[in-house]
Homo-oligomer: A and B are copies of this chain.
Amino acid sequence: MSQSALDDLSTPSLVLEEAALSRNLAAMSQRALDGGVDLRPHCKTAKCIEVARRATSPHSGAIAVATLKEAEYFADHGFNDILYTVNIEPSKLSRIAALQRRGIRMSAVLDSVAGAQLVAGAATVLDSPLELFLELDSGTHRTGFAPGDAAIVDAARLLNDTPQLRVRGTLAFGGNGYIADAPADTKAAAERERAAAVHAAKQLRDAGVDCPAVSVGSTPTRTMGESLEGVTEIRPGVYVFMDLMQVKLNVCDYTDIAVTVLARVIAHNHRENRVYIDAGALALSNDLGIRPTAGPYAPYGLLRDPETGGPIPGLGVFGVNQEHGFVQCADAEQPFPFDDFPLGSTVRVFPNHVCHTIGSHDRYHVLDGSGQLTGEWERVTGW
């Protein structure tokens, strides 16, 4: 690919390769179709209407979000089945009510009887029913009922006894797929995720509680998982762009990473044997990703080799300040190849964890398959 299309871009900025995006979207879409389930992409990663439109085709159009600002942004652009995935508490209900008044079908997540009681007590602010997914903790040890906990039935009954609330289904997030050491571990995390959500749905149905939806997801578990029996929708997010963590987890290859941070070389520091770029902690984030057991790693990302589409061997971003990053050799004793990185030249940084890396950026510069810039896609930030 020619670098010339990027030479006019300001740095730091995000470059989005549409061909890689399309491949990633098609693969996950096919998994949903093959499993006979809906694909509800988690739009917390891209936060971008252009990506969300492509990701939901040919599925129902349902999406997941992680902030109410994302919900409002996607509602502004015609999405009308939106699941807010961070546990709901009363202060959020007025913004949800405003979305419902615009005709949006809103869902949210709860994971305790106490939470259900609290939301039920504040639900009069809602004009129409808020639909709730009851979350299971299938091994992430974050939020969720323990699998088998009978309290989930109590919570569901309490919700369904409240006119402004209604149980929509069960939900699990196999975040433990992110700490798996081998594909077999990720497959096992995927199966625990599925089993937890499906079993809890059976608990509810056995108790006479309607439970139409069973939602599971994370990119590793929904790429590597085998069975979708009993599931009605999958909810992956990172898959649209992929990143170095997903490469480490064997979910994808480097050439599947669709978003990189474009930066420029701004200083040669011969005394320290490194170069500085104009992307630092805000443009790359401080997310250290996951150090792979084998293969290249740098705490703030690897540089993309324009020849191979993989990482430039032996180099990486080893430090950041607010708007400075430095690139050095993984073996710091090795002479840095300064001639390959002239002052003012561009580099592209593969993100460790794309959701965090791109968190402060407000747009993507889209490259088509022939290396031409075809436009800018905006993304929403903040809360």
Q: Which of B111, B115, B282 contacts A359 (CB 8 A)?
A: B282
Give 6 nearest A-B pairs by CB, closest first: A286-B286, A87-B266, A89-B344, A66-B323, A143-B267, A282-B359
| Nearest neighbor of A67 in chain B, beta-carbon distance | B323
Known contacts A66-B322, A356-B322; decide if A267 and B87 are in contact (CB<8 Å): yes
CB–CB A11/B271 < 8 A? no
Chain B residues within an 8 Å CB radius of A267: 87, 111-112, 115, 143
CB–CB A268/B114 < 8 A? yes
A residues whose Cβ falls under 8 Å from a Cβ of B: 7, 10-13, 44, 66-68, 86-92, 95, 111-112, 114-115, 118, 137, 141-143, 146, 175, 264-269, 271-272, 276, 278, 281-283, 285-288, 321-324, 326, 343-344, 355-356, 359-362, 381-383
CB–CB A343/B86 < 8 A? no
CB–CB B281/A356 < 8 A? yes
17 contacts between A and B (CB under 8 A): A10-B383, A13-B383, A89-B264, A90-B344, A91-B264, A91-B344, A114-B268, A118-B344, A146-B271, A281-B287, A281-B359, A282-B359, A286-B286, A286-B287, A359-B359, A361-B383, A362-B382
Chain B residues within an 8 Å CB radius of A143: 266-267, 269, 276, 324
A379 to chain B minimum Cβ distance, whole angstroms, is 10
| Nearest neighbor of A12 in chain B, beta-carbon distance | B383
Complexed CA–CA distance, A375 and B335 (Å):
54
A127 to chain B minimum Cβ distance, whole angstroms, is 20
Complexed CA–CA distance, A117 and B28 (Å):
50
Known contacts A87-B267, A89-B266; decide if A286 and B356 are in contact (CB<8 Å): yes
CB–CB B86/A323 < 8 A? yes
Chain B residues within an 8 Å CB radius of A266: 86-89, 143
